[in-house]
Amino acid sequence: MADLWQNAMDHAVAAARRAGQVVREALLDDRKVMTKSSSVDLVTQTDQKVEQLIIQSVKEKFPTHRFIGEESVAAGEPCILTDDPTWIVDPIDGTTNFVHAFPFVAVSIGFSVNKQMEFGVVFSCLEDKMFTARRGSGAFCNGEPLQVSGQKDIQRSIIATEFGSNRDPEVVDKMFSSLRNVLCIPVHGMRGAGTAAINMCLVASGCVEAYYEIGMHVWDLAASSLIVSEAGGVLMDVEGKDARASADGGDARRGAKSVRCACVFRRSGRSDVPTDRRSQQQNHR
Ligand SMILES: O=P(O)(O)O[C@H]1[C@H](O)[C@@H](O)[C@@H](O)[C@@H](O)[C@@H]1O
Ligand SMILES: [Mg+2]
Ligand SMILES: [Mg+2]
């Protein structure tokens, strides 16, 4: 049976690749940096230009489709998800990295119908890695299949997180308290690429066991949420409830800032974790 949305997914991949070229070229010039909610919540003209390029290209091909774009919402567009085919776009995920030429910058394009992600595309444009997922058809990086880590023991895991752009001392204290709690489990290590989308693609790739962040937005994770779940991972909120609903834009319906945790372990975990950890051979794939 013909895939109704394959044509749209092909368009998304091509648009993400073109957008990545714009990002790479912009890195050769001065980047005009502006701020949004705080002095560390950055946006550039490239973010805005890339979002408009993606949205205009989609409008020409799919004139009835709707959009939720990070910079359009910042400019006052509504952030409401309907059952209509909707493109959820983060033109540059990792804007702070882009400003500093720190080499993890992603173009993230998710596509939702009936409030369910149909495909996700994350282009890590400085690594030239195209992460894709079609609902029910698996997740891939440059065409190679992805699978989350098989590690069942958090004490043998790497956990990723991000600090966001809130510098309120009380919020920072809470973040550091979470960091301390996770590190002292103990875990092998903690990492952060500086972009939610790439952190989640690292989980889908099996090199990071879990990623959490408090305060992500729907455009940060719409595409990568499907890449994670199609790679065998799960998304949950801070209470452990299935977060795909909100990752599919639930918070967009409410127009609220998300408080969400994208924790991913393999779907079917058994508790055959060896009790005596000291003598266990640490086998990592
Ligand atoms: O680079 P962005 O699209 O703004 O997304 C970032 C966000 O700015 C930062 O605060 C963190 O939440 C990151 O995880 C996002 O990717
Ligand atoms: Mg983002
Ligand atoms: Mg962004």
Query: What are the structural domains of the chain?
Result: 6-145 (3.30.540.10), 154-280 (3.40.190.80)
Q: Nearest 5 degrees, angle CA 109-CA 112-CA 114?
A: 175
Q: Is the pLDDT of residue 262 over 60?
A: no
Q: Which residue has the higher pLDDT, 2 or 94?
A: 94
Q: What is the pLDDT of residue 74?
A: 96
> What integer is the mean pLDDT of 247-268?
44
Does residue 120 line the site of ligand 1, with CB under 6 A? no
Q: CB of 162 closer than 6 A to ligand 1?
A: yes
For residue 166 and ligand 1, the question of a CB distance below 6 A is answered with no
Tokens of 58: 């989609």
The pTM of the full predicted model, rounded to 2 decimals, is 0.89
Is the pLDDT confidence value at 30 over 50? yes
Beta carbon of 52 within 6 Å of any ligand 1 atom: no
> Which of the ligands is closest to the CA of residue 166?
1
130 - beta bridge partners?
123
Distance, in Å, from the CA atom of 207 to the CA atom of 152, rounded to the nearest integer, reads 13
Q: What is the mean pLDDT of the chain?
A: 88
Give the model's pLDDT for residue 264: 54
**Please, which pLDDT band fits residue 22 given cuts at 50, 70 and 90?**
very high
Using alpha carbons only, what angle is made at residue 21 by residues 17 and 27, rounded to the nearest 5 degrees?
140
* C-beta of residue 133 within 8 angstroms of C-beta of residue 140: yes
Tell whether 90 is in a known binding site: yes
pLDDT at 225 over 50: yes
Percent of the chain with pLDDT over 70: 84
Average pLDDT score over residue span 121-145: 98
pLDDT tier at 238, thresholds 50, 70, 90: confident
Asked if 115 and 129 count as a contact pair (C-beta separation under 8 A), the reply is: no
Does residue 58 sit in helix, strand or coil? helix
Q: Which of 47, 51, 54, 70 is catalytic?
A: 70
User: Could you tell me the CA-to-CA distances from 7 to 15, 107, 111, 165 in Å, in that order?
Assistant: 12, 19, 12, 36
Q: Is 93 a catalytic residue?
A: yes
Q: What pLDDT is stored for residue 150 in this prediction?
A: 94
189's CB contacts (< 8 A; 6+ apart) are 158, 159
d(CA 257, CA 134): 26
Atom of ligand 1 nearest to the CA of 192: 14
